[in-house]
């Protein structure tokens, strides 16, 4: 059977419903924190976290790991929206800058894939309160590797 390559193969962005079903099945932390993908385009995706006590830390604000979970789901959705449903995609690097405290509201993350012609994919993510896109809570850059080509050769 022909290999499916992210660089030459049968791409196609994964649908948001299929993505969320996969997320429910494999990553219970996302459901626990009320995180869902909202929209997936080719090279771009949005995710949302519902405001709830599960995500908070001292001071009643969103914890860093909850924000990272939101970012991680958004990046993963954007990666699968770019390369198709490729289980080989693997996070290698995450960097997050926290700019200001998050308010007690739902938050939205938006990821744009910055490149896609290589063995690694870099995405840029911003997190903001719903309906307040200019009030950036944190920014992040994530890198995914697309591992061993040997796999493709079946």
| Closer by beta carbon to a copy of itself, 42 or else 94 | 94
| Residue 56 interacting with a copy of itself (CB under 8 A) | yes
Shortest distance in whole angstroms from residue 25 CB to a copy of itself: 8
**What beta strand segments (E) does the chain contain?**
35-41, 44-49, 56-57, 61-62, 90-98, 107-113, 120-129, 138-145
The count of residues in the chain is: 154
Determine which residue in the list 17, 24, 115, 133 makes contact with a copy of itself, applying CB under 8 A. Answer: 115
Determine which residue in the list 21, 28, 104, 133 makes contact with a copy of itself, applying CB under 8 A. Answer: 28
| Residue 151 interacting with a copy of itself (CB under 8 A) | no
Q: What is the three-state SS of 50-75? A: CCCHHHEECCCEECHHHHHHHHHHHH
- 127-134 CB contacts, 8 Å cutoff, 24+ apart: 127/67, 127/70, 127/71, 127/102, 129/102, 129/103, 129/105, 130/48, 130/105, 130/106, 133/108
Determine which residue in the list 9, 34, 51, 143 makes contact with a copy of itself, applying CB under 8 A. Answer: 143
Structure tokens at 17: 């419903």
| Residue 12 interacting with a copy of itself (CB under 8 A) | no
- The region of 10-18, 28-36, 37-45, 103-111 touching a copy of itself under the rule CB under 8 A is 28-36
Shortest distance in whole angstroms from residue 89 CB to a copy of itself: 10
Which residues here bind a copy of itself, judged by CB under 8 A?
22, 26-29, 32-33, 53-59, 63-66, 68-69, 72, 87, 90-100, 114-115, 117-120, 122, 124, 136, 139, 141, 143, 145-150
């Amino acid at each position: 059977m022909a290999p499916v390559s992210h660089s030459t193969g049968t791409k196609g962005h994964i649908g948001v419903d299929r993505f969320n079903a996969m997320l429910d099945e494999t990553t219970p932390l996302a459901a626990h924190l009320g995180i869902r993908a909202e929209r997936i385009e080719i090279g771009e995706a949005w995710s949302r976290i519902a405001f709830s006590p599960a995500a908070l830390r001292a001071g009643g604000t969103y914890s860093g790991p909850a924000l990272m979970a939101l970012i991680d789901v958004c990046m993963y959705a954007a990666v699968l929206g770019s390369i198709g449903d490729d289980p080989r995609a693997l996070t290698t690097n995450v960097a997050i800058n926290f700019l200001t405290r998050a308010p007690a509201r739902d938050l939205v993350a938006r990821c744009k894939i910055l490149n896609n012609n290589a063995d690694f994919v870099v995405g840029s993510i911003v997190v903001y309160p719903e309906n307040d896109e200019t009030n950036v809570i944190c920014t992040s850059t994530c890198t995914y590797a697309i591992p061993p080509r040997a796999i493709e050769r079946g």
